[in-house]
Amino acid sequence: MLLIKIRLTGLPEEMDEDDIEEVVIASETIADTEIVGGRRQGHIPIPIQTDPADARKISAADLAVLKGRFPHLADFSDSFLMSRTTDELLRIESTSMKLRDAERSRDVEDRLHANKTALATKTAEVMAGVDNRWNILHEARFLGGAACSAQELWSKARAVIGINGHPPLSNYDMTAVGLGGFVTAKGWLEIGNPASTKISLKLFNINNCTARASASRAAAASDELLEVADLGEFKLALRALRTAGQFVMPWNYSFLALEGFLLQTDFCKNELIGDDRPAATLTQFVDFILQTNADRWRDSLGFLTTGELAAYWASFHGARPKAKAEAAKTSKKEAASTTASKKEKRVRFPWVDVCHQWNTGKCNKAPGTCTSSRGTVLRHVCDWRDLANPAVICGQAHKRLQFH
């Protein structure tokens, strides 16, 4: 009995259990057909080869058909497959399908852990070829995503492509993700250079991407461009920056780290209370971080992670003069409000049996007939009080309105 080690890769993920069972049955049926030499309805008859030397020969055309019909055979080299009989090939495929089906029944966490452990031994051989970033793309572009740390990927890119990166382009398909026309020409120029300290979020503001912009305008300094007006405009420019960065440098996760920090803090909402231009403040911070990461690229240091950006924001916002002025202005408002509330607070005097209406000339009742709401007789005497001793009244037979 021939024992063959099967590699469990290469099966299309979209195949469900019914598809697996169908392929297994088909492969076993074709194998049985070859052994007995009979014809079965719906299957191509495979002639029996009587010569032992010819029994292990499969033509290139037949091999291409078998590899197209049974995906697992594509994992093996053509020389190995052409040295096998059709029966052996089909049983390899059948066994591979059964093992793959058994693997799918495993727990998801176990499968992920097993795949991670296998990374140390499974390597991909990258064949030499050509690539022009346009209509000729090397197969290495479609390898699985790197599972190492983002900082390690950044450092490896720094060692491979150097300081200034690759020649910048502007024909990336931003329209496919709904952001066509959001990046200025200078924006594509600066984002293509990971060491650029001239990059600014304003270069990714759609209001700066006019169709009639001249070449001099497109190459102008970022401080001559329109400011980001509000938070909605800021969020759209940030998304354009992050998306453009992923098109130009798929290995660069610094833009995602910056966006992640702003999303986690709800765009620094708590710190920007009272700021009449929050979008401008956030734009200044984003520009500061972009330029800092460019400096760190030059120095072969890792980019600022989402966790590190919290400390940078605290330092940036706390050192801004405008923030200090707003804090002082808020303190003054609070102090004025406290003083006003103290002034408005009324002094409560002890109750006395004196008619206050008579003292202001509004009570015309005869003495002894004036009473309170509870029936207490009120005296018609002066109710003036000294604030130093409010419990004592004047008590003289005159009105406060006339003599005090």
CB 204 within 8 A of CB 244: yes
**62, 24, 29: which is closest to 43 by C-alpha?**
29
The mean pLDDT of 65-90, rounded to a whole number, is 79
Report the percent of the chain where pLDDT is more than 70: 75
Nearest to 187 by CA among 255, 250, 227, 245: 245
Residues spanned by the domain of 299: 150-323
Whether residue 282 is predicted with pLDDT greater than 60 in this model: the reply is: yes
From residue 395, how far is each of 18, 43, 230, 333, 359 by CA, in Å?
107, 125, 68, 44, 11
Tally of residues, the chain: 404
Element (H, E) at 86: helix 86-104
Per-residue pLDDT at 318 exceeds 70: yes
**At a CB cut-off of 8 Å and minimum separation 6, what does 294 contact?**
194, 195, 196, 197, 199
The amino acid present at 31, given as its one-letter code, is: A
pTM of the predicted model, to two decimals? 0.57
Q: Report which listed range, 17-26, 98-107, 356-365, is most confident.
A: 356-365
- In tens, the pLDDT along 341-351 reads 555 556 677 88
Predicted pLDDT at 125: 85
Instruction: Indicate the pLDDT class of residue 245, thresholds 50, 70 and 90.
Output: very high
Q: Tell me the pLDDT tens digit for each residue of 1-36.
A: 334 333 434 444 445 555 556 655 655 555 454 444
For 388-398, write each residue's pLDDT tens digit.
777 788 888 88
How much is the mean pLDDT over the chain?
Answer: 79
Same domain, 167 and 274: yes
Q: Largest Cα–Cα distance in the chain?
A: 145
- Domain-located, residue 179: yes
Within 8 A by CB and 6+ apart from 213, the residues are 184, 185
Rounded average pLDDT over 49-53: 48
Inform me whether the pLDDT recorded for 273 exceeds 80: yes
Residue 5: per-residue pLDDT? 39
For residue 112, being part of any structural domain is answered with no
Q: Are residues 277 and 364 in the same domain?
A: no
Amino acid at 17: E
In a domain, 118, yes or no: no
Residue 374 is classified by DSSP as T
98 and 198 both lie in a single domain:
no
> Over 60: is that where the pLDDT of 237 sits?
yes
Which is higher by pLDDT, 367 or 15? 367
- Calpha distance 326→275 (Å, rounded): 8
**What are the pLDDT digits (tens) for 176-234?**
999 999 999 999 999 999 999 999 999 999 999 864 444 444 444 445 789 999 999 99
Per the domain annotation, does 124 fall within a domain? Answer: no
Q: Where are the alpha helices (DSSP H) in 144-253?
A: 150-161, 185-191, 215-218, 231-248
> Does 297 reside within a domain?
yes
In this structure, the answer to whether residues 254 and 309 fall within a common structural domain is yes
Which residue from 161, 148, 10, 159 is spatially nearest to 71, judged by alpha carbons? Answer: 10
Query: Does residue 47 register a pLDDT over 50?
Result: no
143 pLDDT exceeds 60? yes
Tell me if 127 is assigned to some domain: no
Last residue of a domain, one of 79, 106, 133: 106
Domains identified in the chain, total number: 3
DSSP string, 310-334: HHHHHHHHHT-HHHHHHHHHHHHHH
pLDDT at 131: 93
* Per-residue pLDDT at 398: 83
Of 258, 288, 323, the one marking the end of a domain is: 323
In angstroms, rounded to a whole number, what is the distance separating the alpha carbons of residues 333 and 292?
Answer: 37
Are 63 and 178 contained in the same domain? Answer: no
Check pLDDT > 90 for residue 262.
yes
Q: For residue 262, is it within any domain?
A: yes
Residues 104 and 84 sit within 8 Å (Cβ to Cβ): no
Instruction: Give how far Cα 364 sits from Cα of 53, 311, 319, 395, 397, Å.
Output: 139, 75, 70, 19, 15
What pLDDT was estimated at residue 213?
A: 47
What pLDDT is stored for residue 16 in this prediction? 56
Domain match, 169 and 241 both: yes
Is the CB of residue 248 less than 8 Å from the CB of residue 164? no
- Tell me: pLDDT of 165 over 70: yes
Q: CB of 351 within 8 A of CB of 373? A: no
User: Considering the domain boundaries, does residue 10 fall inside one?
Assistant: no
Identify the pLDDT of residue 35: 42
Is 263 found in the same domain as 223?
Answer: yes
CB atoms inside a 10 Å sphere around CB 303: 24
* Residues with Cβ within 8 Å of residue 140, at least 6 apart in sequence: 126, 129, 131
Q: For residue 149, is pLDDT > 60? A: yes
Sign of CA dihedral 321, 326, 327, 333: positive
Whether 50 and 167 share a structural domain: no
Per-residue exposure over 101-128, b if at least 16 CB sit within 10 Å of its own CB, e if not? eeeeeeeeeeeeeeeeeeeeeeeeeeee
Domain end (from 47, 71, 106): 106
Hey, what's the torsion of the CAs at 159, 163, 166, 171, to 10 degrees? 120
Any idea what DSSP says for residue 268?
T
Q: Could you tell me if 39 and 154 lie in one domain?
A: no
Please indicate, yes or no, whether residues 305 and 353 belong to a single structural domain of this protein. no
Same-domain pairing of 99 and 238: no
Domain identity same for 280 and 399: no
